[in-house]
Structure 1
Amino acid sequence: MGIDMSSMVAKPHAAASNEALQHFQKLLEFETDCWDVHYATNNNLQDFVLVDVRGEELFNRSHIPHAINIPHRKIDEARLQEYPKDTLFVVYCAGPHCNATERAAIRLARLNRPVKKMIGGITGWLDEGFELTN
């Protein structure tokens, strides 16, 4: 018997290409990234509402330009009345260590609102070299 020299990366084997294609295409229906949000907001292409779902105090200290603040616990139909039902909401929080984006996305989905998560949040935004505002 020989020693298995496969890495933990290669175990289990990668999915078949057609399965990988379906998975990654589907993933983009749920997520966007900081670069795409930055590009859209700076090139007059913002066809979504960017929502910082952290608390008001953190938002007031600094946030991503063009974002509004709706803390995830305060997302409800009354708060969204000013937006047409087909408005796409892109939610973000502090970063990958924070699950407020998922909590916000769940609330928006339960209200039958289109939603995507901006992966990376504030941490990702800063990692890309983008500025915050206050």
Structure 2
Amino acid sequence: MAFTKRNDDAVSPVIGVILMVAITVIIAAVIASFVFGMAGNIKSSKTVGITLALDKNNNAVATVAGGTDLPTLLLVNYSVNSGSEAVLLEGANLTTGRYNVTQAGSVVGKRVILVGYFNDGTTQTLVDKQF
């Protein structure tokens, strides 16, 4: 009978060293991104609940449901098929409710975009809907 000796001891330490090096590189990259300001350009989005639907005449109707950033919303503009913007809602105390996008007429087959302007100078697309 011939006995062979197996030696698998070197496999686990090599894999362990590779994993430790990979984890060290990932941690160094995360720290470097914060130190050099790469993560500083991330802006949080505003929370405003607005939906768009069609009424019986195929006009767009915006329904403002609320949201934590509704009190800071100064203006809501709309555009149809990427045309020029028109004012939908304006005022320092915008409230919940239904608002007709009256100048748009029938929006069937068209794209309607609502853009919000906030009191901190930021703008955000609130709704982008293809009818």
Q: Is the shorter-chain TM-score for this pair beyond 0.5, marking a shared fold?
A: no
Q: Give 1 or 2 for the bigger CA radius of gyration.
A: 2
Structure showing the higher strand proportion among its residues: 2
Structure showing the higher helix proportion among its residues: 1
Higher relative contact order (CA 8 A, sep 6+): 1
